[in-house]
Amino acid sequence: MKLIKLEKVVKIYKFGENEVKALDSITVEIDRGEFVCVMGPSGSGKSTFMNIVGCLDTPTSGKYYLEGIDVSTMNAEELAEIRNKKIGFIFQQFNLLPRAKAWENVELPLIYAGINSKERKNKALEMLNKVGLLERAEYFPRQLSGGEQQRVAIARALVNNPSILLADEPTGNLDSKSSIEIMQIFKKLNEEEGLTTIVVTHEPDIAAFGKRQIRFLDGKIISDTG
């Protein structure tokens, strides 16, 4: 059984009269331990794909099986639970809570997993240590550099032991040095812990970190090295 299996997934956005077919019958399988890079021009459907894989959104039609379970028909409560337990999402804009300290941002998924506060803090600090930011635990996001903020976001994505790590242009707002650092963290996690990782990127040298490249165009997969 594959970790991720999409069958003829279609996503249509409607606004007024207009319809946009952001995903046009995508069928793809991704296995445990893969490191996939998703590429393609702007508007080709990469983010839409990631959102559906990350259970932030549901397909208009088609099926999505995560660990063999059909999640394409789940309701908001069930999807929230999947996101909490199985998915670690990383965004281009970091999406940290500005008024929460680094470790408080990291513990966020654990709050909704019902973990008590002592254990939460321990785990959060452990994750910050893993991304090399233990000494920044008490900092607020605005006191951190872009690269550091993204590492906090990675720690948050990892804290509840997800099955998949999803990153939508994680280096889009970073300089090349920080970008490499971030990608090296992903690579290490994938190689040492076998964490399934999907990264969206525009840059070929970032995409080179992946073991498999999927290319999108107009909502379709036009090439797949896997």
Partner 1 sequence: MILVTSIINIAFRAIKANFMRSFLATLGIIIGVGAVVTMVAIGSGAREKISSQISSLGSNLIVVLPGATTQGGIRIGAGQQTLTMLDAEAIQKECTNIVAVAPAIFGTAQVVFGNQNWSTAIYGTTSEMLVVREWELVSGRFLSEQDIKNGTKVAVIGQTVSEKLFGELDPIGKIIRIKKIPFEVVGLLDKKGQSLTGHDQDDIIYIPISTAQRNLFGHILPGRVRVIYAKAESLESLPEAVEQIKALLRQRHRIQPGQEDDFTVMDLTQMLKTAEEAAKTLSILLGTIASVSLVVGGIGIMNIMLVSVTERTREIGIRMAVGAKPKDIRLQFLIESTFLTMVGGTLGLAVGVLASFIISSVMDWPVKISIFSAFLAFGFSGVVGVFFGFYPAYKASTLNPIDALRYE
Ligand X SMILES: Nc1ncnc2c1ncn2[C@@H]1O[C@H](COP(=O)(O)OP(=O)(O)OP(=O)(O)O)[C@@H](O)[C@H]1O
Residues forming contacts to Mg ion in the complex (CB under 5 A) are: 47
| Count of residues touching ligand X (by CB under 6 A) | 12
Q: What are phi and psi of 221, to 5 degrees?
A: -85, 120
Verify binding: residue 44, ligand X, rule CB under 6 A: yes
For residue 225, the SS3 value is coil
Sheet with 69-70, edge to edge strand ranges: 18-30, 4-15, 61-66, 69-70
Q: Where are the alpha helices (DSSP H) in the chain?
A: 46-53, 76-86, 102-113, 117-130, 146-158, 176-193, 204-207
In angstroms, what is the minimal distance from the CB of 88 to ligand X? 19
C-beta of 40 vs 54, nearer to partner 1: 54
Verify binding: residue 42, ligand X, rule CB under 6 A: yes
User: In which element (H, E) is residue 91 found?
Assistant: none
C-beta of 10 vs 180, nearer to partner 1: 10
x/- binding map, residues 48-67, to ligand X, per CB under 6 A? x-------------------
Find which of ligand X, Mg ion, partner 1, none residue 91 binds, CB within 5 to 8 Å per kind.
partner 1
Find which of partner 1, Mg ion, ligand X, none residue 22 binds, CB within 5 to 8 Å per kind.
ligand X
C-beta of 47 vs 84, nearer to Mg ion: 47
How far is the C-alpha of 70 from the C-alpha of 12, rounded, in Å?
Answer: 20
